[in-house]
Chains A and B, each alone.
Chain A
Amino acid sequence: MDITRRRLLVLLPAAAVAWEFVRAGTPESAPNYKTSEHWWGMLIDITECIGCGSCVRACAQENDVPDGYYRTWIERYHVTDYAIERPQVESPNGGKEGFPMNEDSSGKNFFVPKLCNHCADSPCTQVCPVGATFVSPDGVVLVDKNYCLGCRYCVQACPYGCRFINPKTNTADKCSLCYHRITKGLTTACAEVCPTGARQLADLKNPKDPIHEYLRTHSVQILKPHMATGAKVFYNGMDGSVR
């Protein structure tokens, strides 16, 4: 085939486009995931949560969480009119099997799903003596279970009570924001199975992520802001009594 000038001019842009596809790879075999291009967080809409416990069950199945331990759990708040400062909080079996009907339906009743807040300035990673827990370059607080000693410093340091010692491995365990899923382009297991969309995975570095519009237009809060942890789990419609 002799290449004329005209043919070359047609071929060059086509080859450039083809080369881009080669570099990007197919989604399955080469995820082409760049940690520097993401900054993960989560959005939780308390006004949407129905306390069905789907997220708790899905999390346990996705991450092999042992019974009686929770990477995510749901709390039911009962705030009476006269004791706003002292809400009654319950979480039977982490909310895994839903919640029984309240005996006292007066006052305010609502569900608050909890999980690791994936703090940007996390207290738990700072106390690890061996560097087994860390904030990854894409903003997820992870535990290297092959390197963890199980000293429990981080369990004590977390102000949100999100860590536990896994009885199988005897190492620290916590929500990984389904790191094995989000790096493959999927959403977290809890967000995947939330029937009302109360949980949304959010990429704060992606300018097209709807989180930015949501944060602009809603009065969104984080848990324990006075501790300056840089928590990245945002709660919409959160009552002042939530701790």
Chain B
Amino acid sequence: MTPITTPCDLNHRSLARFPVSKTIALSQRLLFRRAFRTPRVRLLFKDIEHLLRLAAVMLIALVAFVVLRAAVVPKSFGQYGHYRGDAIAELAARPVAHAGHEVCEGCHTDVVDQKKLGRHAGLHCEVCHGPQARHADDPASVKPLLPDTTVICARCHEANSAKPHSFPQVASADHSGGLSCNTCHQPHRPKIEDRGKPATGAKK
């Protein structure tokens, strides 16, 4: 049996056989040479090998945490607050479906001239015609469908006691008897007396 010569040899491990124990013992001898002179301190650091092993494990865990966190948390997180800053740009990048009336009015000037004289002057095009951004991007190949006036007009003008009383409403069954609205009304300029009048020069 080998005699106990160093503090780390409690478990009867030979320093020569365990390279880890050997390096730890070596470093501890270098580091604590002065401290080890007093017997009491020597007793305190008797099992220093265990503490150093524990410290090594914790250090590895800390490094793993820092590396993992850097890999998992998105770069822009916390740019403006507790969220991913890039999310704002991603949401803003979504393509639009409704082109907006300014785009429509850029080409369809004849309809604008008609519309601004009647009571539908304030109505934007996509209220009735639906989303037309694809048509605006490619007017030649994407053609919008004409809306069905019996459905479209009734949505706004069908009588309902919850609608504001000043809003023009009809009970379509009594009013037209199933005829489509554009038989008599021109949707862009709905007043019947105005029908057929020239768009320009006409008085409101």
Contact = CB atoms under 8 A, between A and B. Distances in A.
Contacts of A133: 83
B98 A193 contact: yes
B161 A105 contact: yes
Interface string B69-90: 0000010010011111001101
B123 interface: yes
Contacts of A101: 158-161
B131 A58 contact: yes
- Tell me what chain B mostly uses at the interface: helix, strand, loop, or mixed: loop
Given A50-B167, A99-B162, A193 B127 contact: yes
Contacts, number: 124
Interface stretch (A12-20, A184-192, A203-211, A226-234): A184-192
A180 interface: yes
Contact of B156 (A50, A58, A105, A181): A50
B163 A51 contact: yes
Contacts of B155: 52-54, 97-98
A180 B96 contact: yes
Interface string A40-58: 0000000111111110001
Nearest to A53: B155
Nearest to B164: A47
Contacts of B127: 54, 193-195
A201 to B, nearest CB: 12
A62 B131 contact: yes
Between B80, B82, B88, the greatest number of chain A beta carbons within 10 A of the residue's beta carbon is seen for B88
Interface residues of B, number: 38
Nearest to B124: A192
Indicate the size class of the contact surface on chain A: 35 or more
B94 interface: yes
Interface in A80-102: 97-99, 101-102
Nearest to B169: A50
Interface in B143-163: 154-156, 158-163
A97 B122 CA distance: 22
Interface of A: 33, 35, 47-54, 58, 61-62, 76-78, 97-99, 101-102, 105, 109-111, 131-137, 142, 144, 146-147, 176, 179-181, 183-184, 186-187, 189, 192-197
